[in-house]
Chains A and B, each alone.
Chain A
Amino acid sequence: MLDRPSEQIIPADDQWGGATDAEVINYIENWVGKYYPEMSPIYKRGIAAVQKASNRLYSKNFQDVEFAAQTEFLKKMEAGLLDGQDWTEIAQKYFFEEIRVRSMQGFYGPPRHGGNKNYMSYKMCGLEMPHLLGQNRY
């Protein structure tokens, strides 16, 4: 489900793919599952709260909501304006920032952690490759 808010954070455009194409969700799964397993309960609570809030607003799970409506949803979430009764287990602004930061890391960070497939963001930024002359250690 987190691939949808990630795609909102870094959407595809005419020239370059977004978080989904770069497989940012792999990075987030690695980050939670491999590097920070203690964050797993937080993510579970956050995802549950997103779905509750989405169902309250749109009578649908977040992933089934239209793209534009998802954008509005996340703008409210970023500002802490969603209905507070869905966010008793976790702060909505905190969880939004969590998704935002992880998505940025997954899209713009090195591919070795699961995201940035085929160096998509590096190519997008015109970054010369390899970073290290003589060898590429990724």
Chain B
Amino acid sequence: MVAKQLATAGIKCVVLERGQWPDYEDSPNDELINQRTHAIRPLHYMDRRKFVNPDKPWLTDPFLNAACVESGTVTYGAMAWRFMPQDFKLHTLYPHISGSALADWPITYDELEPFYEQAEYEIGVAGDQRDNPYAPPRKKDFPMPAFEYNREDKDVLIPAIKRMGFHPYPIPMLRNSVRYNGRAACLRNHTCCGYICPCDAKNGTQNTVIPVAMKTGNCEIRTGAIAVQIAMQGRLAVGVRYYDLEQRLHYQPASIVVSAAGSSGSAKLLLMSKSDMFPNGLGNNSDMVGRCVNSHHYTGAFGLFDRDVSAEQGPGATVAFSDLNHIPEKKIFTGVLCSEFYALPWMRTQIRPPKSPMWGAEHKRFQRENYRRILRLFGRCRRFRCTKPGLCCIRRGRTPLAYRCLLPRGQTSFDGGTGAHYVQRGRGRPEGGRGKTDMADKRQAKPQILQRRRPAPVVFLQNGRRS
């Protein structure tokens, strides 16, 4: 985004990009090889957010990093959430969480709103927030109409969400619901989240603003370039040192240096950029770089119905509700709950009622009869770090480069008793369960809860794997 702004303003710029240009041939629509399921090699080559490369181990990094042409935005599910105005003043709204890293932003939503709008139009978002009473205010509608609801939304989820008194609405997506910006509309195929789009209908920097920047002739994308240090002269940044894929060190002088490597990547680069004036890392004399890093838990549940409920077409994840997002008077701030992306059969082989056999004839019968009768509602709930939170920078390997990785330090804490737990209890139990079966059509049999996972304090375990 910054490169496009600079290049169109006539400023020469170089973008150091760690990845390569995406190649659809790398993405075989294979549920055993993609960015989200790691059953088969070359999964590491495919994991465009972790950049783990067994042939080039110095590229390994456990964090999910953003990049401009080859990154999570190539394979992500492409939900396009704006912050709510409340998100900019979390410390003020939730002062009861002692020892947390919550802080108010120095800017407000209103100040940021024009830039949300600009990003949504330049990159392309399909959505409609008219049914969401909690939507952050916007001056213009989305540039594309929302994706249509699918069968599981219309038959099950939306009626159930409304019965619970909540407000369903279509998820804003960085995908083309119609032809947009000279690229095709979404094919509604089954494999989307975790895969490269075959018709280039999924929008990221790689197919929107970066090509615009390059067309000006002022922007060079230097792929395979791993920035390791911002060079300083006193208080001025004067260039960037980076490695290429062959581990050769280069130096790029610059009058302006922009660190746009994501929340963890930028913190890492600053921590690695030590100089006489900043012996603990650039801008880190106060020891605050990398602190207050927030992430989210996944929470949710599977439901089993007595009839086919799964969507007829992909990619799913079409409906959400935000009624549980901010309830300061109850000291609750959780997140959004959504329908799930389409899951192919292998991804359902671990989803069984408690104490059910996990192999044999009964397992197969369950799969055959119920694959299309299972749906999942899940969401992202905030988590935050407390007690000296932050990231530390470590060296990995003995190569001259000894590429640094970030690891979390400090504890991760829940908003105990609220947040993700709240979603899985009582009012927030959309899948039914103790006493309530709101998700099921009352005329139908009650849904059976297959799995209700406790939101883990550090990572969410799904099918025994970290996700």
Contacts and interface: CB of A to CB of B under 8 A. Distances in A.
B465 to A, nearest CB: 11
Nearest to B39: A105
A31 B40 CA distance: 7
Contacts of B39: 105, 109
Given A110-B32, A126-B371, A11 B346 contact: no
Contacts of A113: 30, 32, 40
Interface secondary structure of A, over-half rule: loop
Given A122-B345, A132-B189, A11 B360 contact: yes
A131 B190 contact: yes
A82 B16 CA distance: 57
B367 interface: yes
Contacts of B372: 125-126
B31 interface: yes
B419 to A, nearest CB: 32
A131 B361 contact: no
Contacts of B30: 109-110, 112-113
Interface in B243-285: none
Contact of A16 (B40, B198, B368, B371): B368
A101 to B, nearest CB: 8
Interface string A7-24: 011110101101000000
A128 B187 CA distance: 15
Nearest to A99: B359
A31 to B, nearest CB: 7
B349 A108 contact: yes
A70 to B, nearest CB: 11
Given A131-B190, A133-B187, A35 B344 contact: no
Given A112-B30, A132-B198, A137-B28, A121 B345 contact: yes
Interface residues of B, number: 34
Contacts of A71: 360
A50 to B, nearest CB: 15
Contacts of B28: 112, 137
Contacts of A11: 360-361, 364
B75 interface: no
Interface in B175-198: 187-191, 198
Contact of B344 (A36, A127, A133): A127
B346 A104 contact: yes
B312 interface: yes
Interface in B320-365: 344-346, 348-349, 358-361, 363-365
B73 to A, nearest CB: 20
A1 interface: no
Given A71-B360, A110-B30, A131 B189 contact: yes
A134 interface: yes
Given A8-B360, A133-B189, A108 B367 contact: yes
A76 interface: no
Nearest to B24: A137
B139 interface: no
Given A9-B359, A11-B361, A131 B29 contact: yes
B5 to A, nearest CB: 36
Given A9-B359, A112-B30, A133-B187, A105 B346 contact: yes
Interface in B183-240: 187-191, 198-199
A10 B364 contact: yes
Nearest to B28: A137
Given A104-B346, A132-B29, A8 B368 contact: no
Contact of A108 (B188, B191, B345): B345
B41 interface: yes
A133 B349 CA distance: 25
B360 A9 contact: yes
Contacts of A109: 30-32, 39, 346
B80 to A, nearest CB: 23
A89 B358 CA distance: 25
Contacts of B364: 10-11, 13, 16, 18
Given A16-B368, A122-B345, A125-B345, A132 B360 contact: no
Nearest to B190: A131
A69 interface: no
Nearest to B368: A124
A135 interface: yes
B187 A110 contact: no
A100 B358 contact: yes
Nearest to B371: A125
Contacts of A122: 345
A83 to B, nearest CB: 22
Contacts of A15: 368
Nearest to B308: A126
Contact of A135 (B32, B198, B346, B361): B198
A127 B39 CA distance: 21
A10 B41 contact: no
6 contacts: A13-B361, A18-B364, A110-B30, A127-B344, A131-B189, A137-B29
Given A104-B359, A110-B30, 5 more contacts: A10-B364, A16-B368, A100-B359, A105-B32, A105-B346
8 closest A-B pairs by CB = A108-B346, A125-B371, A131-B190, A132-B189, A108-B345, A9-B359, A35-B41, A104-B349
Interface of A: 8-11, 13, 15-16, 18, 31, 35-36, 71, 74, 78, 100, 103-105, 108-110, 112-113, 121-122, 124-128, 131-135, 137-138
